[in-house]
Structure formats: C-alpha cells, structure tokens
Amino acid sequence: MKIIQVDPTKDYAPVIVEVINVLEAGGVVLYPTDTLYGLAANALNVEAVERVFKIKQRSFLKPLPISARNMKWVKELAKITPKQEYMLEKIWPGVVTAVLPKNSIVPDVVTAGHPNVAIRIPDYKMVDTLLGKYGYPLTMTSANVSGNKPIQRVEEIIESLSHSLVMPDLVIDVGTLPPSEPPTLIDFTGAQPKILHVGAAKPQQLMELLGI
C-alpha cells in the first residue's frame, strides 16, 4: 500500500495519473471526497468492486453507491425521466445520492442484485478531475469498516482497516477532512422522491428545491 500526501490547492496532476494507473489495474484507492474519505474502484469492474467489499468487510447483500461526473454519465448508468433530470440538476453536484433504476451496464455486484443503483455527482474538484481523465464511474463508499462510524483522518482509517483481508492499493492523504455527514439518500424510483436517509443535505431545503 502506497500513501501519497497531497495539497489539493496545488497541482495534483501527477497524482491523478498514478491513481488512474491503479484503477486501470483493478485496484482500489482511498481518496478524499466532498464529504468523507472514500474507497474508489472502477464501478464497472466486478473484481475491483469485490475488493472494495472485502476492504470494508461489507456484506455482498448491501449495495454500494457510485459516482458519476455529469448527467450524461447518469443516463448511461440509470434510467431517468426528464422530470427527474430536471430535479436532479437542481441538487447536483452535491451531497445527495439518488436511487434510480439501473441500466445493464452496472454490474449486479454493485447493487447487490437489486434493480436500482445509488448514484451521486460529487462537488469536489479532485474527484471531478479524476472522473474526467479516467472516464469510468467509481465506487463512492466511505473508507471504514462496514457498520462503523466514518473517520476523517487517514492514519485512523488505515488502522481501522488493518484487520481486513484486503487493503487499499493507494492512499491519497489530503489531511484531516472537516466534520461531515454522509450524503442524503433519496429514492427516485417511485411517483414522488422519497428521502431514505437524512445526511449532509437537509430535507426541508431539498423538498423546496425539488418542488415538493
């Protein structure tokens, strides 16, 4: 496992190249997002996604959320109506994960065999740059043992994962992230959006934005 300390306010292009090399080899990267440190793997690579489950000691019966760069990507990954697209454009990029009917391009291991997929467009420049240069959606799950509270410091994350059978191949350390909650989860598969989990985005503000 290699650890790279990065100042996200400076040029991190060489680091992005190294991250992509790991992802292309089917590896997993511990990386910062707009909420928490996460575990990134090619979301379309079954073996890579399985490594994420093993690192988190997560049941394969629990789906993993994934990240997309823009709405074009979302439409390739999931079925989305014009009305839903209009709503989501109001809240993306940002700290809201949308549950949508998945397209066949998304492996069943990502969704634990369910017909829906959880997708988010993050609001974090480094992740946007990575997605743009890599060209594939990434897993976007918190870097912690499944069921445990998320951790903001890389050293503590590595310690917490030390008993996993698999470890991340590369760690991008930008320092301690500010306190944050996981993203808010909204189900868009029904007639009206339904909040499944309240996180960083507040329900009342979301409902106003979505016109509900």
Neighbours of 110 (CB within 10 A): 25
Main-chain phi, psi angles of 97, to 5 degrees: -105, 130
Distances from the Cα of 135 to the Cαs of 39, 67, 86, in angstroms? 17, 11, 24
- Cβ contacts of 143 within 8 Å, gap of 6 or more: 30, 36, 37, 38, 39, 56, 150, 151, 157, 161, 168
Higher pLDDT, 63 or 163: 63
> What average pLDDT does range 53-73 have in this prediction?
97
* Residue 208 pLDDT: 67
Calculate mean pLDDT across residues 163-191: 91
212 secondary structure, DSSP code: -
Q: Is the pLDDT of residue 192 over 90?
A: no
Give me the chain's average pLDDT, please: 93
pLDDT band at 73 (very low <50, low <70, confident <90, very high): very high
Residue range 73-94: mean pLDDT, rounded? 94
Average of pLDDT values for 19-36?
97
Tell me what pLDDT residue 209 has: 65
- Of the pLDDT bands very low, low, confident and very high (cuts 50, 70, 90), residue 200 is low
Where does the pLDDT of residue 201 fall: very low under 50, low under 70, confident under 90, or very high at 90 and above?
low
Q: Which tens digits make up the pLDDT trace of 28-39?
A: 999 999 999 999
Residue-wise pLDDT tens digits, 100-159: 999 999 999 999 999 999 999 999 999 999 999 999 999 999 999 998 988 899 999 999
pLDDT for 197 equals 82
pLDDT at 157: 96
Q: Which two tokens stand for residue 83?
A: 């009305």
What confidence category does residue 181 fall into, taking pLDDT thresholds of 50, 70 and 90? confident
Residue range 59-80: mean pLDDT, rounded: 97
Q: How are beta strands 116-120 and 96-101 bridged, if at all? A: antiparallel
